[in-house]
Amino acid sequence: MPDTSKIVSVKDAVAAIRSGDRIMVGSFGNAGYPENLVETMTASDLKDLTIISNDLGSPGIGLGKFLANGQIKALIGNYYNWNPDVARAYNAGEIDVCLVPQGSFAEAIRAAGVGIAAFFTPTAAGTVLGKDKETRDFNGRPHVLEHAIHADVALIKAYKADELGNLVYYKTARNFNPLMAMAATLTIAEVDDIVPVGSLDPECVVTPHLFVNMIIKKGEK
């Protein structure tokens, strides 16, 4: 019998999250975000969260609900123009926002997951977003030092998990999810389906089960 102890209720999964946590959430413009986890969290009294994500959905939609609910202390990400409430809250001094260029953001999350403390990249060298970062020339070109981005919790959306937590994804809903799955102390994966061990093609597994701590099902309490 395979060990199925990673499969939990959404309530139990969210109970493992603390106010003040740094939380990564997979998604790109509402594609590939863990809806059940986000809904349950926005119905909880969790607060002072640092949300690490590409964007923050739309006003009151998707990850935008965290902001509408006043649960956010800070954001680390790269594109908030789809949710103008972010600029409004930032200008009013209600939240901190740290912008990292999308490719550097993705690589910094990957770096955290694979044990790289920091890396040099040409992206943003000399710009406003590179100005407080250590700069060094490589091959005659300026590069900035980007530090790894780690989180307490990663909330992942995958298409299917097997009972061990091997994950496969769906089209462009993959985005940051496999990176974030590696970069947090606790990784919770929300999936459309949980299938028996052995039924996923090993050649197609994107996230091997060692990166996943809890599995919950979409749409189930």
Interacting residues with another protein (CB under 8 A): 28-32, 54-55, 78-82, 84, 86-87, 90-91, 97, 99, 101-107, 109-110, 121-129, 169-179, 206
Report the first-to-last Cα separation within the chain, whole angstroms: 25
**Cα 58 to Cα 113: distance, rounded to the nearest angstrom:** 28
**How many other C-beta atoms can be found within 10 angstroms of the C-beta atom of residue 193?**
12
Task: Provide the token pair at 217.
Answer: 């099902």
Is 12 or 94 the residue whose CB approaches another protein more closely? 94
CB of 206 to another protein, least distance (A): 8
CB of 5 to another protein, least distance (A): 27
CB of 107 to another protein, least distance (A): 5
Is 14 or 168 the residue whose CB approaches another protein more closely? 168
Please give the backbone phi and psi of residue 133, each rounded to the nearest 5 degrees, phi first.
Answer: -105, 145
Is 5 or 139 the residue whose CB approaches another protein more closely? 139
CB of 44 to another protein, least distance (A): 26
CB of 213 to another protein, least distance (A): 19
Which residues have C-beta within 8 Å of that of residue 168, sequence separation ≥ 6?
Answer: 158, 159, 160, 200, 204, 205, 206
Please give the backbone phi and psi of residue 212, each rounded to the nearest 5 degrees, phi first.
Answer: -110, 130
CB of 179 to another protein, least distance (A): 5
**Cα 32 to Cα 35: distance, rounded to the nearest angstrom:** 9
Is 17 or 23 the residue whose CB approaches another protein more closely? 23
Is 117 or 128 the residue whose CB approaches another protein more closely? 128
What are the distances in angstroms from CA 171 to CA 32, 89, 160, 205?
9, 33, 12, 14
Is 1 or 92 the residue whose CB approaches another protein more closely? 92
